[in-house]
Amino acid sequence: MREDRPPPPPSRGGAYSPPPPDQVLENVLEHVLQFLTFRRDRNAAALVCRSWHRAEALTRSELFIGNCYAVAPRRAMERFRRATAVTIKGKPRFADFNLMPPDWGANFTPWVTSMAQCYRALEKLCLKRMFVTDEDLELLASFPSFRELVLICCDGFGTSGLAVVASKCRKLRVLDLIEDEVTDDEIDWISCFPEGETCLESLIFDCVECPIYFEALERLVARSPSLKKLKLNRYVSIVQLYRLMIRAPQLTHLGTGSFSPSEIVAQGDQEPDYSSAFDACRSLVCLSGFREIVPDYLPAIYPVCANLTSLNFYGEACFLCLQVLDTVRDAGLQAVGATCKDLRELRVFPIDAREDSEAPVSDVGLLAISEGCRKLQSILYFCQRMTNAAVIAMSENCPELVVFRLCIMGRHLPDHVTREPMDEGFGAIVKNCKKLTRLATSGLLTDRAFSYIGQYGKLVRTLSVAFAGDSDTGLKYVLEGCPRLQKLEIRDSPFGDSALRSGLYRYYNMRFLWMSSCRLTRRGCKEIAQQMPHLVVEMINGEEEEVKEDYVDTLYMYRSLDGPRADAPSFVTIL
């Protein structure tokens, strides 16, 4: 390892002395490193030697913090002094499903406080699963160059915080609120955008459960010529959607709002020509919404179907998408398979998200999609019934799959035709989809499924497991077989201390491990904590105060440079 370079020789009598060779090299390095954009490449460059480490740190403009507790804000900001774009992720994903009590942590305040001193020139911020207050937003809005705010699955703020951002961030280009919980402070934040032309390129607020003043929105869209992405909330009716679309035919991404009228429309009333509005949006590639769909209006989107690369539906909407095929709801997916040949991403959500509900989509729909959409890269599919055959077919028809998330809503359900476990289906996915990096399993699975994952899932980085497996062996297959595994989240599966121990040498290379309602004991977790000093091992208790059995409710463990956090609430025990 190089030592710090020696000071330059003193100059004589004001004559120009060329910089020492080391410094020339460093300047060149900094220039060259600016071309490195991928995080992984930058991390590799930083490991070469000290001067590369230093040069890389000074040239990194995008800072990514995968776990807000893995490093203290100060430490990160002192290493990367010139970052202008920051992404921070907080809570683990299973917190979205009420598997973790609220107030667990992931507070944004300490980060924004440090940013106020170290990153005054901040331009872009993306937060996922963080707790963000209105005061935090107000502080952010005071940064003079701030122009992009993306909040995903965050909570803790309300429309009053949004109002401050809208009014104070003069250069705001992106305001994306994705699946956040936003309190209704009864402030019309849309009206808070300043008058005159805006630089808005993206405005996403479909998750904001507050009414908005439509005229203000319409005026805002009219004076935002750069607007490409617009996702409306359910308080925007289909008539209002029409008015917005004709003002913004340049849209590439559209979230349709409720897609239903706000009042009953009498027969024979003159209705706007929705089809032509959709037709006029020639650049539309991403469509979502349909929160309260009325079937009659769906044919309007047919003109754009051929261009769609990303589609978000509710299950029931799929059936209604193709009126010609009457009753079978998978038929809607068959229509998608038949028309959306370039589809890259599909998400099918259940409209009735209960275990025993009647789901309108099944293995038939999945098969149809796999046959029609050969370029599919990412799928999230909720259903009640599935077969290995359909999953195997998808693995063969869609070799480009990077993300495969299948949720068979009934727990432990086997293939509904053969009554076999779903092992072969998921096995085929990991075997045939050679680019797969993210996998979520469901249905009845034995340890065999995990042996497949361990054997073939060499690129898998994220794995979600629920109600699956027979024994510790299942988890061992995965921990020993998947070298790229970063994020492993498991619930309600019979994996215990022995399996946990088998992954000991892996955990420093992973971002986190989550195991809830499994068979871990406190002693087993403590062993890990003692052997791995840089792992933070959190035991999170559910509702109960006393531990009834020796099994741990929830284990959440992650590597950290700065030791256990100081803000852990009472229901978290850090071993």
Partner 1 sequence: METQIMSCESDDLNLKATELRLGLPGTDPALEKQSSNKRALSEIDSCSDAKNGEQDRRAPPAKGQVVGWPPVRSYRKNCLQQKKSEADGSGMYVKVSMDGAPYLRKIDLKVYQSYLDLLKALQNMFKCTIGVYTEREGYNGSDYAPTYEDKEGDWMLVGDVPWEMFVTSCKRLRIMKGSEAKGLGCL
Per rule CB under 8 A, is residue 410 in the interface with partner 1?
yes
Q: Which residues contact 276 (CB under 8 A, 6 or more apart)?
A: none
Q: Which is nearer to partner 1, 183 or 323 (CB)?
A: 183
Q: How far is the CB of 96 from partner 1 (least distance, A)?
A: 5
Alpha helix segments (H runs only) across 142-287:
159-168, 214-222, 238-247, 274-280
Amino acid of residue 551: Y
Q: Which is nearer to partner 1, 123 or 363 (CB)?
A: 363
**3-state class (DSSP) for residue 160:** helix
The Cα angle at residue 38 between residues 37 and 40, in degrees rounded to 5:
140
Q: Which is nearer to partner 1, 12 or 548 (CB)?
A: 548
Site string for partner 1, 348-367 (x = CB under 8 A): -xxx-xxxx-----------
The Cα angle at residue 464 between residues 463 and 465, in degrees rounded to 5:
120
Q: Among 115-123, 185-193, 279-287, 557-565, which window interacts with partner 1 (CB under 8 A)?
A: 185-193
Amino acid of residue 413: L
**3-state class (DSSP) for residue 325:** helix
Contacting partner 1 (CB under 8 A), which of 491, 511, 559, 565?
491
Q: How far is CA 160 from the centre of its chain?
A: 25
Q: Among 43-51, 98-106, 238-246, 282-290, which window interacts with partner 1 (CB under 8 A)?
A: 98-106
Q: Report yes or no: 416 and 382 within 8 Å, Cβ to Cβ.
A: no
Contacting partner 1 (CB under 8 A), which of 302, 494, 502, 562?
494
Backbone angles phi, psi at 551, to 5 degrees: -70, 140
For strand 487-491 and strand 512-516, is the pairing parallel, antiparallel, or unpaired?
Answer: parallel
Q: Can you tell me the distance from the alpha carbon of 4 to that of 59, in angstroms, rounded to the nearest whole number?
A: 18
Q: Can you tell me the distance from the alpha carbon of 221 to that of 21, in angstroms, rounded to the nearest whole number?
A: 55
- How many residues can be counted in the chain? 575
Q: How far is the CB of 179 from partner 1 (least distance, A)?
A: 6
CA dihedral 138, 140, 144, 145 (to 10 degrees): -140
Number of residues forming the site for partner 1 (CB under 8 A): 54
Per rule CB under 8 A, is residue 548 in the interface with partner 1?
yes
Q: Can you tell me the distance from the alpha carbon of 187 to that of 182, in angstroms, rounded to the nearest whole number?
A: 12
Q: Exposure of 266 by Cβ count < 10 A (0-12 exposed, 13-18 middle, 19+ buried)?
A: exposed
Site string for partner 1, 283-322 (x = CB under 8 A): --------xx------------------------------
Per rule CB under 8 A, is residue 492 in the interface with partner 1?
yes
Per rule CB under 8 A, is residue 263 in the interface with partner 1?
no
* Tokens (6 digits) for 465: 């497991």
Per rule CB under 8 A, is residue 403 in the interface with partner 1?
no
Q: Which is nearer to partner 1, 55 or 422 (CB)?
A: 422
DSSP 291: T
Per rule CB under 8 A, is residue 165 in the interface with partner 1?
no
Q: With CA atoms as reference, report the closest residue to 67 among 438, 403, 561, 460.
A: 561
Per rule CB under 8 A, is residue 512 in the interface with partner 1?
no
Q: How far is the CB of 434 from partner 1 (least distance, A)?
A: 26
Q: Can you tell me the distance from the alpha carbon of 95 to that of 131, in angstroms, rounded to the nearest whole number?
A: 12
Q: Which is nearer to partner 1, 161 or 372 (CB)?
A: 161
For strand 286-288 and strand 378-383, is the pairing parallel, antiparallel, or unpaired?
Answer: unpaired
Q: Which is nearer to partner 1, 47 or 264 (CB)?
A: 264
Contacting partner 1 (CB under 8 A), which of 53, 223, 412, 506?
412
Q: Can you tell me the distance from the alpha carbon of 236 to that of 190, in angstroms, rounded to the nearest whole number?
A: 13
Contacting partner 1 (CB under 8 A), which of 96, 273, 358, 550?
96
Q: Among 238-246, 299-307, 402-410, 555-563, which window interacts with partner 1 (CB under 8 A)?
A: 402-410
Q: Among 12-20, 245-253, 409-417, 453-461, which window interacts with partner 1 (CB under 8 A)?
A: 409-417
Q: Which is nearer to partner 1, 283 or 418 (CB)?
A: 418
Per rule CB under 8 A, is residue 138 in the interface with partner 1?
no
Q: How far is the CB of 416 from partner 1 (least distance, A)?
A: 11
Per rule CB under 8 A, is residue 521 in the interface with partner 1?
no
CA dihedral 208, 214, 215, 218 (to 10 degrees): 70
**Residues paired with 155 in a beta bridge:** 131
Per rule CB under 8 A, is residue 517 in the interface with partner 1?
yes
Long-range residue pairs from 26-34, CB within 8 A, at least 24 positions apart, any chain: 26/51, 26/54, 26/55, 29/55, 30/55, 30/58, 30/59, 33/59, 34/59
Per rule CB under 8 A, is residue 186 in the interface with partner 1?
yes
Contacting partner 1 (CB under 8 A), which of 187, 246, 280, 294?
187
Q: Which residues bind partner 1 (CB under 8 A)?
A: 94, 96-99, 102, 153, 158, 160, 179, 181, 183-187, 207, 209, 234, 291-292, 349-351, 353-356, 382, 407, 409-414, 419, 444, 466-467, 470, 491-494, 517, 519, 542-544, 548-549, 551, 553
